Amino acid sequence: MPGALDTLVGVDSPLDQKLASALGGRTAQVLEKAFGMRTVGELLAHYPRRYARRGELTALSELRIDEPVTIVAEVRSVSERRMHNRRGSILEATISDGHGILTLTFFNQPFRKAELRPGVRGIFSGRIGAYRGTRQLAHPDYELFDPDEAAAMDADQARRWAETPVPLYPATATFPSWKIQKSIETLLDVLPELDDPLPVGVRSSRGLMGFRDALVKVHRPESDADWQRARDYLRFEEALALQLALLAQRAERRAVTGPPRVPGEVSRAFEAALPFQLTADQREVGDEIEAELAGGVPMNRLVQGEVGSGKTLVALRAMLAVAESGGQSAFLAPTEVLAAQHLRSIVAMLGPDLAARLRVTLLTGAMSTAERRKAMLAAASGGAAIVVGTHALLGDDVSFADLGLVVVDEQHRFGVEQREAIRLKGRAPHVLVLSATPIPRTVAMTVFGDLDVSTLRTLPAGRASIESHVVPLAEHPGWEARVWERLAEELAAGRQGFVVCPAIEVSTSGTSLGEDDAPAEADAEADAPPPSSVTEVLGRLRAHPSLAGRSVEPLHGRMPSDEKDRAMREFAAGRIDVLVATTVIEVGVDVPNASTMIVLDADRFGVAQLHQLRGRVGRGGVPGIALFVTRAEQATLARERVDAVAGTLDGFELAQADLELRREGDVLGGAQSGRRSTLKLLRVVEDAELIAEARDAAAGILEEDPALAEHATLREAVGRRFDAGERAFLGKA
């Protein structure tokens, strides 16, 4: 349905009424400032995060300092006292769940004493603070349950009143949950009949209630069954809208085709000359890619495979097919070290004659002006069939004669806008992204159908296993000595090792000085010890008795390019025993004799980074060992990440664990951290099956009605759900 997402939503729909006219200007202004809401539909789509009951008491002992909360509790006592240093009084009320105590504090508001009587229950909202060791809410918002209302009921009515779910909403300090509820109640009281966006057949086949009933019962349930059935409808409606939007953008993108890219004699000769047999996975994935290249419709494929499973080889076969049709390929790598290594690896696989014929070219920001100009000319003229580079490939001054394929290595290191920038340098080029561990956003988009996925599960013969262990210094501080003894044992066996630090150096003020691409996922507290740094650890290891006589050298992103390249060459040649490095060695570094990976402050790294770092060892016939050293306490999110990586070698399993730990990120936006998500009720892990069913339903609807001309309400619902920025993002992602 090209262009369907650009259709204006129905201006006559009650959902598009401005909040200012429905609730008044003052309330509308606060809602817009706090939540970005402007219309009735946007407020009604602000669903409860959970449901409490009037008879329920909250576990106060579980509340954390500085956490905004909405709780159901009972008033135990009320007292008032004069302030010593200034005029006025302080009113204090204690609320309890029978186990914990929380204090409510009000300044110069004695009238509240008549409201907050011992025994009354209500909903209290505020931010948890502490005063003299006691947790408190200062000037909380609250709504008390009417005891007279309950007293006037018979036993059955009172029981139903106590058990009726009370919606609790995502809220702010300026607009607490109970105020949101009251605003929504006002809208529901006058909400007219609404056209249902779901086709009757889809709704009846799934046994779903109607749209208006779902909106009412998700906000005003009389029982748990009410809001559960309402969510069933709203989750599927959300999934269907997303799938329709994704399929629409996919159709628009695939409407612009390029020339067929078909492998020929060069590709067949290359494969015949390989000194090993392709694995079944490599052959199957290669055939999938070749079929898409030959069709001309732009490919958008993720090749997921464990470290060493042959992703680069699969990509090279695709690049050869493009080259044989006169096209070019851009191979985008995240670091200069990796770009240089990929260049050497590609040349080695092709052989000197074919590499020269294809004019495999390197382009990085560290090259001299003359070298850079020469590489750019080779790309622009079409002389270079394969251009390997870093972010330098994204520059406005870099162009290609016929860019037919974009390969993005370790795609989690590049943002959506960066991937889009390189894609726009060609006319409908194919896109192939490679990853050993998809970030949660990529897994989410895979579930939503935006990426085709190929998986390389079979490791080539001869790959050794990797043992992974967490070294928990919080519980066993003495184990650090054993880490260095274990490294020394591996060196004594003739092997090599990596020691990875989160920072390059730490200043005298304690500030860590890292690289631009250093991890930013640390959960460290403000008073935590500074992170391990390359400079400090380098000195410590060179002086360590167990490593006496060993060559221990640094490698990090601030070193000049020639020094970085020299360090890697020396390490690969076996003349350096231990590299003390940052994440510059996270991907692509291939030294078969390296057996040991020690990651210090492992809790400061993300799941994908830890998995990638581990993949630097065990790459030959030498068994690998990965030691994740951490001071993170048990049951913290940081520690759970480390434990998750140590628990499995499976990249997709880790990506799913990462999803569960930090959510899917903003599926329709640029954020990949999981802090914000466009999704309202859908959760990628829990709702994967429902999302797949919604995709089938969306495909069936579009097959019969590509422009949604016969589904006006559904078309408006899709348009209402996505703003212009999200529609643009769908086209890029």
Give the 3-state secondary structure of 639-701.
Answer: HHHHHHHHHCCCHHHHHHHHHHHHCCCCCCCCCCCCCCCCCCCCCCCCCHHHHHHHHHHHHHH
Among 176-180, 313-317, 582-586, 673-677, the range scoring the smallest mean pLDDT is 673-677
Q: Are strands 68-82 and 89-96 parallel, antiparallel or unpaired?
A: antiparallel
pLDDT of 503: 93
Whether the CB-CB separation of 510 and 526 falls below 8 Å is answered with: no
Mean pLDDT of 281-301: 91
Tokens of 101: 């105590």
| Selected residue with higher pLDDT from 219 and 247 | 219
pLDDT digits 0-9 by tens, 692-719: 999 999 999 999 998 899 999 999 988 8
Mean pLDDT of 508-520: 46
Mean pLDDT, all residues of the chain: 84
Same domain, 634 and 499: yes
Backbone angles phi, psi at 564, to 5 degrees: -65, -45
Which residues contact residue 663 at a Cβ distance below 8 angstroms, ignoring those fewer than 6 apart?
440, 674, 677, 683
Whether the CB-CB separation of 498 and 581 falls below 8 Å is answered with: yes
Tokens of 258: 């390029």
Which residues contact residue 489 at a Cβ distance below 8 angstroms, ignoring those fewer than 6 apart?
none
Q: What b/e sequence results for 486-502 when a residue is b if at least 16 CB atoms lie within 10 Å of its CB, and e otherwise?
A: bbbebbeeebbbbbbbb
Q: Do the domain assignments include residue 537?
A: yes
Asked if pLDDT for residue 432 goes beyond 70, the answer is: yes
pLDDT of 8: 35
Q: Do the domain assignments include residue 183?
A: no
pLDDT of 76: 92
Mean pLDDT of 9-27: 83
Mean pLDDT of 195-210: 94
Same domain, 486 and 580: yes
pLDDT of 522: 39
Band the pLDDT of 602: cuts 50, 70, 90. very high
Asked if pLDDT for residue 25 goes beyond 50, the answer is: yes
pLDDT of 452: 84
Residue range(s) defining the domain that contains residue 487:
466-649
Mean pLDDT of 385-394: 92
Mean pLDDT of 182-205: 94
Asked if pLDDT for residue 525 goes beyond 60, the answer is: no
Distance of CA 113 to the CA centre of its chain: 48
Cα–Cα distance for residue pair 42/19, rounded to 1 Å:
9
Which residues contact residue 573 at a Cβ distance below 8 angstroms, ignoring those fewer than 6 apart?
none
Band the pLDDT of 725: cuts 50, 70, 90. low
Tokens of 312: 């680069």
Q: What b/e sequence results for 294-316 when a residue is b if at least 16 CB atoms lie within 10 Å of its CB, and e otherwise?
A: ebbbbbbbbbbbbbbbbbbbbbb
| Selected residue with higher pLDDT from 438 and 719 | 719
* CA-to-CA separations, 681 to 45, 243, 245, 620, 645, in angstroms, rounded: 10, 15, 17, 46, 28
pLDDT of 115: 87
Same domain, 325 and 444: yes
Q: Do the domain assignments include residue 436?
A: yes
* CA-to-CA separations, 513 to 502, 542, 672, in angstroms, rounded: 9, 21, 23
Among 184-188, 211-215, 333-337, 719-723, the range scoring the smallest mean pLDDT is 719-723
Same domain, 402 and 510: no
pLDDT of 69: 75
Whether the CB-CB separation of 65 and 210 falls below 8 Å is answered with: no
Mean pLDDT of 239-268: 86
pLDDT digits 0-9 by tens, 560-593: 888 988 998 899 999 999 999 998 887 656 788 9
Distance of CA 120 to the CA centre of its chain: 43
Indicate if the alpha-carbon torsion angle 648, 515, 442, 331 is positive or negative.
Answer: negative
Band the pLDDT of 4: cuts 50, 70, 90. very low
pLDDT of 6: 45
Where residue 62 sits, what CATH number does that domain have? 2.40.50.140
Same domain, 379 and 507: no
Same domain, 298 and 157: no
Mean pLDDT of 13-35: 92
pLDDT digits 0-9 by tens, 406-431: 999 875 555 556 667 787 888 889 99
Q: What b/e sequence results for 180-212 when a residue is b if at least 16 CB atoms lie within 10 Å of its CB, and e otherwise?
A: bbebbeebeeebeebebbbbeebbeeeebbebb
Cα–Cα distance for residue pair 622/252, rounded to 1 Å:
49
Same domain, 484 and 359: no
Percent of the chain residues past pLDDT 90, beyond the cut: 44
Q: Do the domain assignments include residue 209?
A: no
pLDDT of 54: 66
pLDDT of 642: 95
Mean pLDDT of 367-376: 94
Mean pLDDT of 111-139: 83
Band the pLDDT of 363: cuts 50, 70, 90. very high
Same domain, 584 and 609: yes
Same domain, 428 and 482: no
What is the identity of the amino acid at 184?
A: I
Tokens of 66: 């500085």
Indicate if the alpha-carbon torsion angle 208, 209, 212, 216 is positive or negative.
Answer: negative
Indicate if the alpha-carbon torsion angle 694, 696, 697, 699 is positive or negative.
Answer: positive
pLDDT digits 0-9 by tens, 314-333: 999 999 999 998 999 999 98
Where residue 305 sits, what CATH number does that domain have? 3.40.50.300
pLDDT of 411: 56
What is the identity of the amino acid at 10?
A: G
Mean pLDDT of 463-486: 91
Same domain, 294 and 148: no
Indicate if the alpha-carbon torsion angle 438, 440, 445, 446 is positive or negative.
Answer: positive
Q: Do the domain assignments include residue 13?
A: no
Backbone angles phi, psi at 526, to 5 degrees: -60, -30
Asked if pLDDT for residue 450 goes beyond 80, the answer is: no
Choose the final residue of a domain: 597, 618, 649: 649
Choose the final residue of a domain: 649, 675, 706: 649
Mean pLDDT of 211-224: 95
Q: Name the residue among 390, 373, 339 with its Cα closest to residue 589.
A: 339
Cα–Cα distance for residue pair 167/49, rounded to 1 Å:
8
Q: Do the domain assignments include residue 245?
A: no
| Selected residue with higher pLDDT from 134 and 680 | 680
pLDDT of 127: 80
Whether the CB-CB separation of 593 and 524 falls below 8 Å is answered with: no
Among 32-46, 94-108, 482-496, 622-636, the range scoring the smallest mean pLDDT is 94-108
Q: Do the domain assignments include residue 554?
A: yes
Q: Do the domain assignments include residue 190?
A: no
| Selected residue with higher pLDDT from 131 and 385 | 385
pLDDT of 248: 82
Q: Name the residue among 713, 715, 618, 726 with its Cα closest to residue 677.
A: 726
Backbone angles phi, psi at 578, to 5 degrees: -135, 130
* pTM for the predicted model, two decimal places: 0.70
Percent of the chain residues past pLDDT 70, beyond the cut: 84
pLDDT of 225: 94
- Domain total in the chain: 3
Choose the final residue of a domain: 456, 477, 494: 456
Same domain, 271 and 354: yes
pLDDT digits 0-9 by tens, 613-661: 998 898 777 889 999 999 998 878 889 999 999 998 877 788 888 877 7
Cα–Cα distance for residue pair 94/101, rounded to 1 Å:
7
pLDDT of 637: 84
Asked if pLDDT for residue 364 goes beyond 70, the answer is: yes
Band the pLDDT of 610: cuts 50, 70, 90. very high
Backbone angles phi, psi at 352, to 5 degrees: -60, -40
Cα–Cα distance for residue pair 372/385, rounded to 1 Å:
16
pLDDT of 413: 56
Same domain, 414 and 441: yes
Cα–Cα distance for residue pair 50/171, rounded to 1 Å:
12
Q: What b/e sequence results for 651-683 when a residue is b if at least 16 CB atoms lie within 10 Å of its CB, and e otherwise?
A: bbebbbbbbbbbbbbbbbbeebebeebbbebbb
What is the identity of the amino acid at 40?
A: V
Asked if pLDDT for residue 56 goes beyond 70, the answer is: no
Query: Angle 688-704/224-254 helices, nearest 10 degrees?
Result: 50
pLDDT of 335: 82
pLDDT of 3: 47
Which residues are 468's β-sheet partners? 626
